[in-house]
Structure 1
Amino acid sequence: MPFTDDAEDDILTRFRELTDGLDHEVFGGASETIDRRRPEPSAVQVLTVRVDLHHSTPPIWRRLELRSDLSLEDVHTVLQTAFDWAGYHSWRFAAGGAPFDDAAEQFLCASDVEEGEDPDGIPAGEVRLGELLQRAGDALEYLYDYGDGWDLGIMVEAVREAEEDDAPARATGGSRAAPPEDCGGLRDEEDLKTLLEDPAFFDVAALDLELWSGTTMLTGPEDDVVPALLVEPLTLVGRARAGQDLMDRALLLGDPLAPLLDSAVAPALRALTWFLERADAEGGIPLTGAGYLRPADVEAASGVLPQMADWIGMNNREVHAVPLQMFRTSLQRAGILRKHKGALLLTRRAKAYCEAGNVRELFLDSLVPSRYETEELAQVVLLTYVATTKPGLPLPMVEIARVLTAIIGPSESGPVTTGAILDLPAWHLLANTGTVTSRLSERGFCFSPEATSLAREALTR
């Protein structure tokens, strides 16, 4: 018996109802990405979510309260803090499936958007959490570091209407320490015991305090003004934990501080002046056949170099006077001195400053410029921390290394190290500025008041 047109239409309609949402590849066609976003709730909600690190044994998880008006980029920032990661790898969210699934809707970090490999992906910063999660049982997937593959499942447990004093993010529960950055994807307790002092340790109160006090990067006022030199580093570091650390420091630079008096500049820069005067003399500063300062000059320079004040040894050979050698080579890397026919001479740039009597300007301009972009960015970050750390207190080297890794990215040998920071020319220029009032063993990573003031001036002028 032949089908009527109406009967055929009914069958096609029923077939579409039964197959709606199924993977179209089952029927030989290409899968389609469904737009899973919904209109945001009329009132802002607070979503209680449980976030689990997939395939971790025992389970590693966090319970968070998140406002629905956070962007997915904000949520990325919260997750980085919650799992104590550094934020310098690519990441994405996915709805309706796992990250990279063809049928799942993908929400991308800025680097993935720029590369254009997922043309249907949506920039995460343009999507609010409340467009995807609205009721208990709603879920979202997150992937960080495509190499290690830290995949997190986000499940809504409860929803309530937000109150006026609700923070953007809070931590209310969780279990176990998260795997450290760049550990190769390890997530089992036995493996993590080789990397963590106590894999079972998790302090929910400490995490909640960090989220509570660190919400400026989630809700930061648009009118914040930072020095022009910090715009690029802040843009590159993004909104993860390291970006928050750098932004906190940048905002401190807005506090008024009297510049160093001209009368204090000359004694503060006496190490620099010693080299300028001798390099500008006829014949410059002669070097030995091996390219080192001569013994008499080593002894004389050691007498004015703060870092040599308590250096052990006779200080008559540059190869043994390490702080002096690092300072001298830093003057060359900063474009102040140059080697020519077995002697150290002023560069044309340095000579022009000296002839104009602008040693202060020469020093300030030499703290940032570099032939290498990454080194210049690193020196701007270093200046920021020197300028915002109380003189006499040690710089937070681990934090600086984390910020630099987020900006520059890890090398083949891993994240930026303290040793790389100590190799920056600006470090040695500033470390030899001012008067030393304590022994080397006590001084550590501290800088003088004069160095702090000049670092701030170099950033904000």
Structure 2
Amino acid sequence: MKAYQIRIELVGSKPLIWRQVTIPADVTFKRLHDTVQFAMDWWDRHLYKFEFPQEKLRITNDEEAYEEYKFYQKKYTGKALTKRNDPHGFIAQALETAIRQPQTVKIDRYLERYKTITYIYDFGDNWQHKIELEKILEDYGFGYPTILEGEGACPPEDVGGISGYEEFLRAWDNPKHPEHEEMRQWGESQHYRPFDIVFRNDLLKTCLKIKKVK
């Protein structure tokens, strides 16, 4: 089966947190999202989006934004927006970027065309991921993604983005830090743990298997 070897990097992390993954080509952006979540060790608690500014396209699970876009698209298709019906330009702004649902769009055309995709998870903490196509494979033998290599523990959910994670690590790594014990307890409650490639691959195989390959 055709597949892609991709590299996922958490932008701004130092040392860099990354995974190299092989994923079947015939999957949707929802499955790519699931793959990032399992591979990185996120917990899928927040909204996410893939952005393609070249095509003025956003692929997201933000249902409110999607429904707003569909409403305005249906109401104003074929109609001119004027100062009268859109005095502040909100409708024009809402229609400027098309919004699609991740379970309805496949990754192949976009990944092969652009080579690099931006994926943002948790709009508050704003975890930006760079997903880069490294290689196209024609004989991948599994119906699920596989992590080939990777480094770095995933930050805890809701830690406050890159800057919050840096503060967290200062307390986590230093027994003399005044918040060391408190941060240790909180980090453990948030399942902060070292990257375990065997465990991550078991999850990918168990949870994301799409079909048997003869």
Residue type of the partner of 1:160? L
Preserved CA contact (<8 Å) 1:52 1:59 = yes
- The change in CA–CA distance for 1:175 and 1:110 in structure 2 (over 3 A counts) is same
Residue type of the partner of 1:186? I
Please give the alpha-carbon distance, in whole angstroms, between the structure 1 residues aligned to 2:143 and 2:28: 14
Aligned residue for 2:147, secondary structure, equals strand
- The change in CA–CA distance for 1:131 and 1:157 in structure 2 (over 3 A counts) is same
Q: 2:60 aligns with which of 105, 108, 118?
A: 108
Aligned residue for 2:67, secondary structure, equals helix
Please give the alpha-carbon distance, in whole angstroms, between the structure 1 residues aligned to 2:149 and 2:56: 29
Partner of 1:85: 42
**How much has 1:61 moved relative to structure 2?**
0.8
Please give the alpha-carbon distance, in whole angstroms, between the structure 1 residues aligned to 2:18 and 2:106: 23
CA deviation string 1:5-50 (max 9, x = no partner): xxxxxxxxxxxxxxxxxxxxxxxxxxxxxxxxxxxxxxx5211111
Partner of 1:71: 28
Please give the alpha-carbon distance, in whole angstroms, between the structure 1 residues aligned to 2:4 and 2:152: 22
Task: Report percent identity of matched pairs.
Answer: 26
- For the pair 1:94 / 2:54, whether they are aligned, the reply is no
Partner of 1:215: 208
Aligned residue for 1:132, secondary structure, equals helix
CA deviation string 1:128-152 (max 9, x = no partner): 11121127x7111101111000110
Please give the alpha-carbon distance, in whole angstroms, between the structure 2 residues aligned to 1:210 and 1:81: 7
Q: 1:125 aligns with which of 103, 121, 125?
A: 103
Residue type of the partner of 2:104? E
CA deviation string 1:92-151 (max 9, x = no partner): 101356xxxxx642112152313438541222211111121127x711110111100011
**How much has 1:204 moved relative to structure 2?**
1.4
Partner of 2:11: 54
Aligned residue for 2:112, secondary structure, equals coil
Please give the alpha-carbon distance, in whole angstroms, between the structure 1 residues aligned to 2:94 and 2:36: 23
Preserved CA contact (<8 Å) 2:48 2:62 = no
Q: 2:130 aligns with which of 143, 148, 153?
A: 153
Length-normalised TM-score, structure 2: 0.68
Please give the alpha-carbon distance, in whole angstroms, between the structure 2 residues aligned to 1:154 and 1:141: 6
Please give the alpha-carbon distance, in whole angstroms, between the structure 2 residues aligned to 1:121 and 1:90: 14
Alignment length, in residue pairs? 168
Please give the alpha-carbon distance, in whole angstroms, between the structure 2 residues aligned to 1:82 and 1:53: 12
- The change in CA–CA distance for 1:107 and 1:74 in structure 2 (over 3 A counts) is same
Preserved CA contact (<8 Å) 1:177 1:200 = yes
Higher strand share: 2
Please give the alpha-carbon distance, in whole angstroms, between the structure 1 residues aligned to 2:30 and 2:61: 8
Preserved CA contact (<8 Å) 1:58 1:189 = no
CA deviation string 1:58-107 (max 9, x = no partner): 1011111111111001111111112222212111101356xxxxx64211
Aligned residue for 2:41, secondary structure, equals coil
Larger radius of gyration: 1
**How much has 1:191 moved relative to structure 2?**
3.1
Preserved CA contact (<8 Å) 1:95 1:139 = no
Partner of 1:415: none
Please give the alpha-carbon distance, in whole angstroms, between the structure 1 residues aligned to 2:37 and 2:94: 23
Please give the alpha-carbon distance, in whole angstroms, between the structure 1 residues aligned to 2:45 and 2:193: 25
Partner of 1:204: 197
CA deviation string 1:308-350 (max 9, x = no partner): xxxxxxxxxxxxxxxxxxxxxxxxxxxxxxxxxxxxxxxxxxx
Residue type of the partner of 1:121? I
Partner of 1:380: none
- For the pair 1:169 / 2:145, whether they are aligned, the reply is yes
1:382-393 equivalence runs, <5 A: none
Aligned residue for 1:186, secondary structure, equals helix
Please give the alpha-carbon distance, in whole angstroms, between the structure 2 residues aligned to 1:205 and 1:174: 11
Residue type of the partner of 1:49? I
Q: 1:182 aligns with which of 133, 158, 174?
A: 158
Please give the alpha-carbon distance, in whole angstroms, between the structure 1 residues aligned to 2:158 and 2:167: 17
Please give the alpha-carbon distance, in whole angstroms, between the structure 2 residues aligned to 1:206 and 1:92: 26
> Is there any run of 5+ residues in structure 1 with no aligned partner, and where?
1-43, 98-102, 221-461
Residue type of the partner of 1:143? I
1:337-356 equivalence runs, <5 A: none
Aligned residue for 2:162, secondary structure, equals coil
For structure 1, which segment, 144-153 or 73-82, has the greater mean C-alpha deviation from structure 2 after superposition? Answer: 73-82
Aligned residue for 1:140, secondary structure, equals strand
- For the pair 1:191 / 2:184, whether they are aligned, the reply is no
Preserved CA contact (<8 Å) 1:96 1:140 = no
